[in-house]
Amino acid sequence: FLIKVPFKPTYEDKYVGGDEAFLTECAVNLYKSGNFRQLPHMMGFTDAEAIHIAP
């Protein structure tokens, strides 16, 4: 069993962070809507991601 990891994707409140806020909406929603700078990028995943923290 994997241990519970207290990290998850987050975004900043644009009203608190103002111009300094980096990610103010859910990254998945931004990607699905195409509302991001269209640059070449590479995405992927692995079925063993984070296995190094498993007990």
The tens digit of pLDDT for each residue in 12-36 reads 887 887 788 888 888 888 888 988 8
pLDDT number for residue 7: 62
Domain holding 46, by residue range, is 14-53
Domain presence at residue 42: yes
Angstrom distance (rounded) from CA 37 to CA 31: 10
Per the structure, the count of domains in the chain is 1
Does residue 8 belong to any structural domain of this protein? no
> Is 36 within the bounds of a domain?
yes
* DSSP 3-state of 27: helix
Residue 46 lies in a domain: yes
Structure pTM?
Answer: 0.47
Q: Is residue 37 part of a domain?
A: yes
